[in-house]
Amino acid sequence: MSDITLQRRGPSAENMSQKAVNGTSHGGKVLTLDSMNQNVRQVEYAVRGPMVMRAVQIEEELKKGVKKPFTEVIKANVGDAHAMGQKPITFIRQVLALCAYPALLEDDKFPEDAKKRARHILAGCGGQSIGAYSASQGIECIRKDVASFIEKRDGGIPCNHDNIYLSTGASDAIVTMLKLLVCGEGRTRTGIMISIPQYPLYSAALTELGSVQINYYLDEDKCWSLDVGELRRSLTAAREHCKPRALCIINPGNPTGQVQSRQCIEEVIRFAKEERLLLMADEVYQDNVYADGCAFHSFKKVLFEMGPEYSSVVELVSFHSTSKCYMGECGFRGGYMEVVNVDPEVKAQLTKLVSVRLCAPVSGQALMDVVVNPPQPGEPSYATFTKERAAVLTDLAEKAKLTEDSFNNVPGFHCNPVQGAMYTFPRITIPQKAIDQAKATGQPPDQLYCMKLLETTGICLVPGSGFGQREGTFHFRMTILPPKEKLKYVLEKIKEFNAQFLQEYS
Amino acid sequence: MSDITLQRRGPSAENMSQKAVNGTSHGGKVLTLDSMNQNVRQVEYAVRGPMVMRAVQIEEELKKGVKKPFTEVIKANVGDAHAMGQKPITFIRQVLALCAYPALLEDDKFPEDAKKRARHILAGCGGQSIGAYSASQGIECIRKDVASFIEKRDGGIPCNHDNIYLSTGASDAIVTMLKLLVCGEGRTRTGIMISIPQYPLYSAALTELGSVQINYYLDEDKCWSLDVGELRRSLTAAREHCKPRALCIINPGNPTGQVQSRQCIEEVIRFAKEERLLLMADEVYQDNVYADGCAFHSFKKVLFEMGPEYSSVVELVSFHSTSKCYMGECGFRGGYMEVVNVDPEVKAQLTKLVSVRLCAPVSGQALMDVVVNPPQPGEPSYATFTKERAAVLTDLAEKAKLTEDSFNNVPGFHCNPVQGAMYTFPRITIPQKAIDQAKATGQPPDQLYCMKLLETTGICLVPGSGFGQREGTFHFRMTILPPKEKLKYVLEKIKEFNAQFLQEYS
């Protein structure tokens, strides 16, 4: 993987046009692979790529009674907590049910604090219905609750609800910000710095937008930490080809699970100021921190603690979601972004842009409100909520350690601690014979590995090549979400498979 | 408004780069009006444009006790049923509450058919939770229900659930399809035909994508009907400038409220086949048909009734939504598209593209399932559901007639029948003096009219210029959704205001 990914713009327009006029391709269809948007064609998204397609096929085959060496497909490819059996938080779902069907507000079975939240949310909705469109930026009272949450989280640093945009999951907000940033042609084309390994939403969005992806490498030997020297190297090289304008950080890391130190965040902010880069901080795993000595520090808080020299200058956009942390409510597509120091005229453009899609799903907005405004001491749901929340996070912490320990006992594996987030990204050994076979069949070697694992065990992972990795190294991403017993089974099966694989290709 | 809108690509990249390097603009921000994506900057979306911003300000002023000649702002700018006081359909909300909080499945107060639907939906969800991500194309059992619904609606014409994509409202699906279509440069740049007047999602998306918008005009004198001669004129002219590839139709019409005849749809399909255009049929108002002698005909049904010569060739994508019809559940952002005759390789690309955003909101998908699978005769909720549904549609039909009659009694207004959808789009008279004043203040004359109406009466409409109209004509769009008594008040106030306006500028 090279440092700069100059997105291809597809075959020349003239060729396409000629082909389409002749109607020779694909039975004369208007829309073909050759005549479609070539940026879209180049998009790759490994988290739901060929591995998952094959996994779904295998599930169908199992249903039809096809004999396999396993009885179920285990989709450890995606951070989908509920699909892995995690139970929803009672309080969250009570509030959502009350919002959906307000007749339940008269029902004695629902606790008073849940009703209070539901009434509060409904009062912010048009016609008191979550079926009404909200303001494009999101329901005002929810944005105010988000702002209070951020202030509390960041030790009192002010947050203005005018800077909050509720979104359709964090993905939507991230793509919207990238969309605003991309312009220019050739050497002035916008470049965006992303970590390698990265979460492939970033590369996919940049490909679609025809932007330049600038890779900076995390240091696997130092627990996937971010080094400013590497940022500088990457930026300097990129300036030969494009105009770098933003730096994306995922903290805690996906797929790599590292948690950034406060000092590292300070260095990144200094770098962004010096180099005039807008910072995009993807903080959707902010509650998922497990390792001793690690703590989540928001970019916003660190920025403001560095004083006005930084806090009044550096443009920072940070993202959060209802899909991860202890909630794991992926299906509701709730999220927000906070924009700091963004030009007011650009903010107006952002508001206009999101208005074209009318609004983010209101049920996801309601869910976000519960997340930022959970039961407080003294409220009837406090004890249950706190217990359920702690149970999820404690369990995840145990599974993080279990995974690390287990993988470091697998010959040929090297696994950094899962300090945070929901994934492990171990480095694996692939023998030359397997590499040669992968090349011959036109697939990345780690995809060959993962595909064989899937066919042998039913376990679906994502090859490291889908996230990016240093040339000549191989990895996979696995979520630590399966219930403990199932996770143990998965870890054991991978160990067994790996031994077979090494033997087969030795 | 000219026939072709060649989207501007903004200032030259060189200029931008220089400006940004000098840091002279906007206190040295990375992201400024001049250095942002210029396609996004050019986007306009009148439905939530300056009128609505001012309306929100006025609401704030009223709250602060500022004296106005009215006591509330009436937002008749957008088709937001619940915000206008329409009550949610009980059965829909019962199912959604059961899905959100399955403990309620044990509750005797919920009818058995609602529980059955909820169990069916939950069985299709990962971990039986609507908090899990769904497959990117949507939950399979819901796509099957959508396919059955379409088959039944279309008199038995087969529908394959593999051709159904659940989406975040119809807007999301429409933008996704346009995104696939746009490619080429200069004279081979993709052109997309849209009606004038149009729903500004189309123009906004085309601007953002840097596509060429090809305008064809609906015939106001023939009740906003679509004439194939006009399509041909528009297409021929456009071929001088771009490569036309798709034709968008909104039926029933937004903002114009016409319902297309079967014969007209046949002609459009013949035209699309001859001219090799992909058809995009926006059918989100398919249940909103009021006028005697009008009926909704789906493009899919007509296409298949025209025989294999057409049905095996013409690429058709049609769109539906949970936001309109009798449900009016805008906030849930539910929708689907059906793709017919689309190249399988392109379908695979479509699936990949939607997978980058993981999935549409699952609560919106669940809602769509209830819409396509409502209570049946013999089920406990059938009577109530049918009554509630009929009440909404009957009320809308009465309000459609009331609005037409009232506006045709206003001097200077000409109002076509509201055959369907939820809007009226009357032609209004603006005196030359007002036109001159608007020009002097740099705004479209109908915006001046609507802004004055808003300041005088609190009624928020959208100027016709936001939808497109023939040069020299002026209109506004108003939804017919307000409750009857409020609608009468609105109609009366507009009549009074219009008289004052004509006098003031006579």
A17 touches chain B (CB under 8 A): yes
CA distance A300 to A158: 10
List strand residue ranges (DSSP E) for A185-265, in order: 190-196, 212-217, 243-250
d(C-alpha B107, C-alpha B115), whole Å: 10
Q: What pLDDT, on the 0 to 100 scale, is given for residue B50?
A: 84
- Residue A318 phi/psi, 5° resolution? -120, 150
Q: What's the rounded Cα separation, in Å, for the pair A8 and A314?
A: 32
Please list every residue in chain B whose beta carbon sits closer than 8 Å to the beta carbon of residue A17.
184, 188, 243
Whether B357 shows a pLDDT value over 90: the answer reads no
Within an 8 Å CB–CB cutoff, is residue A295 touching chain B?
A: no
Average pLDDT over residues B427-442: 94
Question: A148: part of which helix (H) or strand (E)?
Answer: helix A140-153
List the 74-133 stretch of B: residues with Cβ below 8 A of A.
78, 80-86, 88, 93-94, 96-98, 100-101, 104, 107, 109, 125-127, 129-133
Q: Which one of 3.40.640.10, 3.40.50.970, 3.30.1050.10, 3.30.420.10 gives the CATH number of domain B137-372?
A: 3.40.640.10
Residues 6+ apart with CB under 8 A from A122: A99, A102, A128, A129, A130
Q: ipTM of the predicted structure?
A: 0.91
What is the average per-residue pLDDT within B393-413?
95
Nearest to A127 among B43, B85, B94 (CB): B85
Q: Is the pLDDT of residue A1 over 50?
A: no
Contact B37 A97 (CB under 8 A): no
Residue with tokens 């692939």: A430
pLDDT score, position B46: 74
Which of A30, A175, A183 has the CB atom closest to B37's CB atom?
Answer: A183
Taking Cα atoms as reference points, which of B266, B287, B265 lies closest to residue B420? B287
Measured between alpha carbons, how far is B64 from B54 in angstroms, rounded to an integer? Answer: 15
pLDDT digits (tens, 9 = 90+) for A204-225: 999 999 999 999 999 999 999 9
Q: At the fourth CATH level, which superfamily is domain B46-85+388-504?
A: Aspartate Aminotransferase, domain 1 (3.90.1150.10)
Name residues 264-283 of chain B within 8 A of A (Cβ).
276-278
The residues near A411 (Cβ < 8 Å, ≥ 6 apart) are A429, A498, A499, A502
DSSP label of A273: H
Judge whether residue A22 has pLDDT over 70: no
Comparing C-alpha atoms, which of A144, A141, A147 is closest to residue A159? Answer: A147
Q: What average pLDDT is seen over chain B?
A: 92
Measure A204 CA to nearest chain B CA, in Å: 7
Question: Nearest chain A Cα to B22, which residue?
Answer: A276
The Cα of B53 is separated from the nearest Cα of chain A by a number of Å equal to 10
Contacts of A100 in chain B (CB under 8 A): 93, 96-97, 100, 363
Q: Is the pLDDT of residue A3 over 80?
A: no
Residue with token string 């409750």: B483
B 367-406 residues with CB below 8 A of A? none
Are residues A352 and B45, on separate chains, in Cβ contact within 8 Å? yes
Residues 425-444 of A with CB under 8 A from B: none
d(CA A274, CA B23): 13
* Residue numbers in A near B78 (CB within 8 A): 133
pLDDT tens-digit readout, A453-498:
999 999 999 999 999 999 999 999 999 999 999 999 999 999 999 9
Q: Is B142 on the interface with A (CB under 8 A)?
A: no
Contact B330, B179 (CB under 8 A): no
Give the residue extent of every domain in chain B: 4-42, 46-85+388-504, 137-372
Select from A109, A332, A343 the Cβ nearest to the Cβ of B29. Answer: A343
pLDDT band at B356 (very low <50, low <70, confident <90, very high): confident
Quote the CA–CA distance of B35 and A467 in Å, as a whole number.
Answer: 30
**What is the fold, at CATH topology level, of the domain defined by A46-85+385-504?**
Aspartate Aminotransferase, domain 1 (3.90.1150)
> 3-class SS at B156?
coil
pLDDT value, residue A178: 96
d(CA B33, CA B54): 22
Residue B31 has its nearest CB partner, among A48, A127, A278, at A278
Residue A18, classed as helix, strand or coil, is helix
What is the 8-class DSSP label of residue A219?
Answer: B
Choose the weakest-confidence range: A26-40, A316-330, A376-390, B15-29. B15-29
| pLDDT (mean) for B214-236 | 96
Hey, what CATH topology would domain A119-372 get? Aspartate Aminotransferase; domain 2 (3.40.640)
Answer yes or no: is pLDDT of A2 > 60: no
Amino acid at B162: D
From the CB of residue B120, how many other CB atoms can be counted at a distance below 10 Å? 17
* pLDDT confidence tier of residue A16, bands split at 50, 70 and 90: very low
Quote the CA–CA distance of B250 and B21 in Å, as a whole number. Answer: 46
- Helix (H) / strand (E) element for B208: namely helix B201-209
d(CA B1, CA A381): 59
Q: Which residues of A touch B109 (CB under 8 A)?
A: 107
pLDDT by residue (tens digit) across A350-371? 998 988 878 999 999 999 999 9
Asked if the Cβ–Cβ distance from A208 to B356 is below 8 Å, we say: yes
**B72 contact A CB<8A:** no
Residue B119, pLDDT > 60, answer: yes
Indicate if the alpha-carbon torsion angle A41, A46, A51, A55 is positive or negative. Answer: negative
What would the DSSP string read from start to end of A387-431?
HHHHHHHHHHHHHHHHHHHHHTTSTT-B-----BSSEE--EE---
Contacts with A327 from chain B: Cβ below 8 Å: 131
Give the pLDDT confidence score for residue B27 in this predicted structure. Answer: 52
Distance (Å) from the alpha carbon of A253 to chain B's nearest alpha carbon: 19
B29 at A interface, C-beta within 8 A? yes
Contact B29 A208 (CB under 8 A): no
pLDDT (0 to 100) of residue B9: 39
pLDDT of residue A15: 39
Q: How far apart are CA A86 and CA B371, in angstroms?
A: 29
Count CA within 13 A, CB hemisphere, residue A271.
Answer: 25
Who's near A452: CB < 8 A, 6+ residues apart?
A497, A501
The answer to whether the CB atoms of A358 and B169 lie below 8 A apart is: yes
**pLDDT averaged over every residue in chain A:** 92
Q: Do A101 and B82 touch (CB under 8 A)?
A: no
- Which carries the bigger pLDDT value, residue A8 or residue A3? A3
Q: Average pLDDT in the A372-388 region? A: 97
CB contact under 8 A, B132 and A330: yes
Question: A with B: how many residue pairs have Cβ under 8 Å apart?
Answer: 320
Q: Are the C-beta atoms of residues B229 and B266 closer than 8 Å to each other?
A: no
Instruction: Tell me how long chain B is.
Output: 506
Return the residue of A nearest to B247 by Cα. Answer: A30
Distance from CA of A322 to the nearest CA of B (A): 10
